[in-house]
Amino acid sequence: MHKNSQAKLSTKLVSPAAVPVPASSPQPALNAPVQHPYSGIDQAVRGAVARMTGGVSPFALVETWTDWAMHLARAPGRQLELAEHARDNALKLMDFAAKSVSGPAQSPPFAPKVYDHRFADDSWQSPPFSLWQQGFLATQDWWDHATENMRGLRKQDSERTRFLVRQMLDTVSPSNFPWLNPEILAETARTGGRNLAEGVVHATDDWLHTLSQAHTPPPEGYRLGKDLACTPGEVVYRNDIFELLQYKPQTEKVQAEPVLIVPAWIMKYYILDLSPHNSLIKYLVDQGFTVFAISWCNPTAEQRDLSLEDYRKRGVMAALDAISAIVPGRKIHANGYCLGGTMLAIAAATMARDGDERLASVTLMAAQVDFSEAGELLLFLDESQVAFLEDMMWAQGYLDRPQMARAFASIRAEDLIYTRAVHRYFLGQDDLPTDIGVWNGDTTRMPARMHSEYLRGLFLENRLSAGRFAVEGRVIALKDISAPLFVVGTETDHIAPWKSVYKTRLFTDADLTFVLTKSGHNGGILSEPGHPNRHYRVGHREEGALYVDPDSWLARTKPKDGSWWPEWISWLNAKSSGPVAPPALGAPEKGYPPLEPAPGRYIHQT
């Protein structure tokens, strides 16, 4: 059994400045620029510009437009094709307009994208609103065609140009203007304009909140520790990076092997312990497992030098050491979600390299180990953009919450920005609180050094799957992991696309079960039994079996109705050694006394 290296550490909460930061293994950038004596001046100026632009690099945008425009300029055949496409769209619109005026409603030639709900109301099917809607969708269709990849054009620039055009078109959608939107006109007539007056109040509140950046407390019925994150437990370890929560057993017997939950540090852990009916942690406890969860701190500017290695060594590994002391002689089922899964994969590969055999299994939920197909987030990342973000983080010590929130919202701006704005400011509808909505607004900051290492080493340079990611000076390999793997992807995930998550099969050799579940990055994971209209697919790869590509796997794997959670529980039970009496909460004699009730204090940091 691995020696408990943390047993004699004090559990007293200390300030970040008082905690020694161990030497870590930096991941230097490839072709890093030479630093000249006045680099600090340049960095300060770039950091100021970055704060003015919200972290978006204007140089990357200019390069994108220039690349697309120059390739189009030298392609007269493509220009002719686009002119014909514009003509065809115009003819379709004219035909639709003529038939709509002279007779009953016609089938529209253009349809919104599946995730675009701005025109879902039936009133958009009647003229003149249908004509304005179709004119907008025709323009959107032409630009989608114009920004398709061209020979010689970088694929990233093609996709980024399409993204930028989509952002610009969204600002002029007829749904955004009260005099063009039939829903707003009908509501204004019904209420005598009260909806617009209430919208002004909402807009003023949001504007003041944006200026002050004050943290909004959870509404009544959604208080942390009472309504949300309310599974009973204790904080059994704390350092400056995380608190370790151990949950009280709810069954007379528990599986001998405990479960460790490693959430992403870009979110607060209670996404996995929301309301009692959809809490994955509560479900695990109720099924007879001893559950531990990491609750990451919300770092401040003083913690700007926290590194990826700190999160691995003083985060994941410190948690494993504590669990090994509290539940001695047992292996551990480790579960990582999103970036927490990526960090868990790094930790598991390092443990395998070093002969540490404490892991009974590894579960990765919506987590990527290869970032070559990392979805629309890659649109924000190239050398210019990462350097811009680094300069901004250098100036303020972290990547702030609004800067991340804007990036995620812009990926689905149709719903997350414009539909919400119409409902709130023109229809006068207040946001109805939900558990996941409260969690989604409870964002965190990213320490400057760690986020830079993550963006460069993983996203930009893709070192982990390429065999170039070093821990403590030596490269690690995912194929060294021998613990059985349970990997979960979600069908409509735009943060960790399921085919990217599926590539874990390509870079590992261990026994692996892959599950593809309905919904997106959060909704697919929160798929509790009884949730309506849910399904999943599950497939198994034996250790050392040949690789099957994702499309072939999807074609041969039939969907099953219901939640994937019971499937995972059955898998965990099969990888466990059987029921035993529950362990005590904490281990005071080994330096891990219960400190305070769950969910602890880091969850309340703003």
Q: Does position 132 have pLDDT exceeding 90, yes or no?
A: yes
Joined tokens for residue 218: 């959870």
| Whether residues 160 and 248 fall in one domain | no
Domain match, 138 and 285 both: no
Tell me which residue has tokens 């990213």: 446
**Position 593 confidence tier, pLDDT thresholds 50, 70, 90:** very high
* 359 shares its domain with 246: yes
Here the tokens at position 60 are: 């990357």
Q: Amino acid identity, residue 230?
A: C
C-alpha 527: how far from its chain's center?
A: 16
CA atoms within 13 Å, Cβ hemisphere of 520? 7
Give mean pLDDT, residues 220-249. Answer: 95
Q: CA-to-CA distance for 185 and 180, rounded, in angstroms?
A: 8
Residues 359 and 273 in one domain: yes
In percent, how much of the chain has pLDDT > 90? Answer: 64
Q: Which tens digits make up the pLDDT trace of 85-124?
A: 999 999 999 999 988 887 666 789 999 988 788 998 999 9
Backbone angle region of 462, left / alpha / beta, with phi > 0 → left and psi within -120 to 50 → alpha: left
pLDDT of residue 405: 61
**Is the pLDDT higher at 481 or at 203?**
481
Q: Which class for 172: exposed (0-12), middle (13-18), buried (19 or more C-beta within 10 A)?
A: exposed
182 within a domain of the structure (yes/no)? no
pLDDT digit string, tens, across residues 535-553: 999 999 999 899 999 999 9
The token pair at 239 is: 């350092």
> What value does the mean pLDDT take over residues 227-240?
97
166 and 264 share one domain: no
pLDDT value at 429 more than 90: no
The reply to whether 338 belongs to the active site is: yes
Strand locations in 338-454 (E): 359-365, 398-399, 446-447
Residue 310 within any structural domain of the chain: yes
- What is the reported pLDDT for 34? 61
Q: Are residues 506 and 582 in the same domain?
A: yes
Domain boundary among 151, 172, 193: 172
Is 496 found in the same domain as 356?
Answer: yes
| pLDDT for 7 | 38
Instruction: Determine the average pLDDT of the residues in 191-216.
Output: 84
Query: Residues 140, 238: one domain?
Result: no
What is the domain range of residue 164?
58-172
Average pLDDT, the chain: 88
- Sequence-ordered list of residues with C-beta below 8 angstroms from that of 284, at least 6 positions apart, any chain: 259, 291, 569
Same domain as 482, residue 333: yes
How confident is the model at residue 131, as a pLDDT?
A: 93
pLDDT at 26: 47
pLDDT attached to residue 105? 65
- What pLDDT digit, counting tens, does each position of 455-470 carry? 889 988 999 999 999 9
Q: What is the pLDDT of residues 277-317, one digit of tens each?
A: 999 999 999 999 999 999 999 999 899 999 999 999 999 99
Q: Of 119, 147, 172, which closes a domain?
A: 172
Q: What is the pLDDT of residues 310-359, one digit of tens each?
A: 999 999 999 999 999 999 999 999 999 999 999 999 999 999 999 999 99
Residues 551 and 543: their CA atoms lie apart, in Å, by 21
Pairing of strands 332-337, 259-262: parallel
Handedness of CA 72, 75, 80, 82 (dihedral sign): negative
Task: Answer yes or no: is pLDDT of 490 > 80.
Answer: yes
Kindly state whether residue 5 falls inside one of the protein's structural domains. no
Q: How far apart are CA 384 and CA 60, in angstroms?
A: 6
DSSP 8-state code for residue 359 = E
Q: What is the mean pLDDT of residues 14-42?
A: 52
Domain identity same for 88 and 166: yes
Q: Is the same domain home to 242 and 339?
A: yes
Contact 484, 352 (CB under 8 A): no
Mean pLDDT, residues 205-222 taken together: 79
Residue 215 in domain: no
Return phi, psi of residue 357, to 5°: -110, 35
Residue 461 inside a domain? The answer is no
**219 in a structural domain:** no
* pLDDT over threshold 60, residue 12: no
CB 416 within 8 A of CB 374: no
Q: Kindly tell me the number of DSSP H helices and DSSP E strands found in the chain.
A: 22, 17
Residue 452 lies in a domain: no
Domain final residue, candidates 124, 149, 172: 172
58-73 helix and 383-396 helix, angle to the nearest 10 degrees: 170
Does any domain span residue 413? Answer: no
Quick check: 10 pLDDT over 50?
A: no
Count CB atoms within 10 A of the CB of residue 165: 19
**Domain CATH for 247:** 3.40.50.1820
Residues 41-56 pLDDT 10s:
877 777 777 777 766 7
Token duo for residue 337: 């979600």
Scanning 147-193, the segments in alpha helix (DSSP H) are 155-171, 182-191
Q: How far is CA 304 from the centre of its chain?
A: 22
- Mean pLDDT (whole number) for 424-440: 87
Whether residue 418 contacts residue 183, with contact meaning beta carbons closer than 8 Å, is answered with no
What are the tens digits of pLDDT across the range 141-170? 999 999 998 999 888 888 889 888 988 999
Q: Considering 261, 338, 339, 585, which one is annotated as catalytic? A: 338
What does the alpha-carbon distance between residue 259 and residue 245 come to, in Å, rounded to a whole number? 11
Q: What's the mean pLDDT in 203-231?
A: 84
Q: Are the C-beta atoms of 360 and 385 separated by less than 8 Å? A: no
Residues 260 and 346 both lie in one domain: yes
* Number of independent structural domains in the chain: 2
Give the pLDDT score at 183. Answer: 94
The pLDDT-based confidence of 33 (bands split at 50, 70, 90) is: low
